[in-house]
Amino acid sequence: MTALPDLAAIEAMDAADGLRAMRERFILPEGLVYLDGNSLGVASKAAFTELQAAAAEEWGQDLIRSWNTAGWFDMPLTLGDRVGRLVGAAAGQTAVCDTTSINIYKALHAAMALRPDRTIIVAEAGSFPTDIYMAEGVVSTRPGASLRLEGVDAPEIEDLIDGDVAVVLVNHVNYKSGELRDMAALTQKAHEHGALVIWDLCHTAGALPVDLDGAKADFAVGCTYKYLNGGPGAPAFVYAAARHHGAISQPLSGWWGHARPFAFEKHYAAGEGIRRFLCGTQPILSLRALKGALDIWDEVDMAALREKSLGLTDLFIALVEEKCAAYGLEFESSREREKRGSQVSFRHPHAYEIMQALIARGVIGDFRAPSTMRFGFTPLYLRYADVWRAVEILEEILRTGAWQDARFAVRSAVT
């Protein structure tokens, strides 16, 4: 970026934004600049409409009959295919169910069962912690298995992959820095050593285009309540490449994954394809809100989404670095577009207090210990003018030292 745009130029960018009309679909609290869609995406009118129908009509009136008449029984797979389209998965490879943590557990077991002569799981010390915790849980149930961590056993994950590695569990976009990995290259590297890869797409799905099939990914998991806007704690998704389907086994072998769930057989027999990742009864109301959120995505062009995402983060980085240069912020993300997700982080010794001051002034981002301020940019409902406003408020907080009052207020509230 050569010269920074002024507010008039920024408003012109909004006026020319091809995704501009999307903002009308969402429920945006008055006066808020919400830069936390990477933690909990905002509600939409479509999600509320579906939720209302699910509650009042399907549960309230049709009751048990809705398992068939409202398609409840098929939802994990029908919604799975719709999420799959957004992450480059052809139909029949993606299911929506359970939580990201539990889907990691299933995928890790499935991958290790496909590589019975290998004992090593590779993961990242810098991943969202539940990925490591679930890998530790899998290791606890597989005698001889162990974990190698990027950031502990070697600086780069590529250096940990060898012929002993069964599976690499890796985040596509780092939850903290927003750094984006090259999916095709790392998958190929793992495959060269005979290892499989599970991609964690929590901070990717709905934020940028992904091509799981094209990258020859083996498994993927991810979250639907961040950029996909499915609602708080909406069920997660799990992907398994079709070439593995015949050989997949995983120990969370509940009724919904059975080949004949209504035959009430006395032994488990895994269903076909991605169905064998299903386990127990899913939270229908939460699934139906997600269905509404996905209706919006049917109209979104992912290339345009990515272009706007990069436009928003480019602008945020440039404005912060110009206007807040004097206040000791340390840029934690990547300047290279191809290495950047849809979020930007800055470190500061008083990151926690500054974020509290931002939130008190209607700019909502996230603090991540020990010293990161994380700002997520959701292209569907954010405007370039919102970026401008967020930086204006950040600059004011830093210039006036208002975060020191925030710190006091927060500490008072805790004691």
Residue of the chain from 96, 138, 329, 357 that contacts its own copies (CB under 8 A): 138
The pattern of x and - marking residues 278 through 317 that bind its own copies according to CB under 8 A reads -xxxxxxxxx-x----------------------------
Q: What angle do CA 57, 60, 61 make, to 5 degrees?
A: 65
Residue of the chain from 55, 242, 300, 409 that contacts its own copies (CB under 8 A): 55
C-alpha distances in Å from residue 412, one per residue of 342, 355, 364, 402, 406: 34, 16, 21, 16, 10
Q: Does the annotation count 153 as an active-site position? A: no
Computed over its alpha carbons, how large is the radius of gyration of the chain? Answer: 22
Asked if 300 contacts 380 with a C-beta cutoff of 8 angstroms, the reply is yes
Q: Does the annotation count 200 as an active-site position? A: yes
The count of other CB atoms within 10 Å of the CB of residue 1 is 10
Q: Does the annotation count 226 as an active-site position? A: yes
Asked if 180 contacts 173 with a C-beta cutoff of 8 angstroms, the reply is yes
Q: Does 73 bind its own copies (CB under 8 A)?
A: no
The smaller minimum CB distance to its own copies, of residues 310 and 367, is found at 367
Q: Does 69 bind its own copies (CB under 8 A)?
A: no
Q: Does the annotation count 159 as an active-site position? A: no
Identify the three-state secondary structure at position 103.
Answer: helix
Q: Does 160 bind its own copies (CB under 8 A)?
A: no
Q: Does the annotation count 374 as an active-site position? A: yes
Q: What is the DSSP letter of 26?
A: B
Q: Considering only residues 118-137, where is the footprint of its own copies by CB under 8 A?
A: 125, 128-130, 132-134, 136-137
The smaller minimum CB distance to its own copies, of residues 5 and 283, is found at 283
Q: What angle do CA 323, 326, 329 make, to 5 degrees?
A: 85
CB 40 to its own copies: min, Å? 5
Stretch of 9-17, 229-237, 314-322, 332-340 contacting its own copies, by CB under 8 A: 229-237
Asked if 112 contacts 137 with a C-beta cutoff of 8 angstroms, the reply is no
Q: Considering only residues 353-392, where is the footprint of its own copies by CB under 8 A?
A: 359, 364, 366, 368-369
Strand runs labelled E in 61-136: 94-96, 120-124
Closest among 210, 212, 215, 239 to 227, alpha carbons compared: 210
Consult the annotation and say whether 281 binds a ligand: yes
Stretch of 239-247, 264-272, 337-345, 401-409 contacting its own copies, by CB under 8 A: 264-272
- Residues annotated in a binding site for pyridoxal 5'-phosphate: 100-101, 128-131, 200, 203, 225, 255, 281
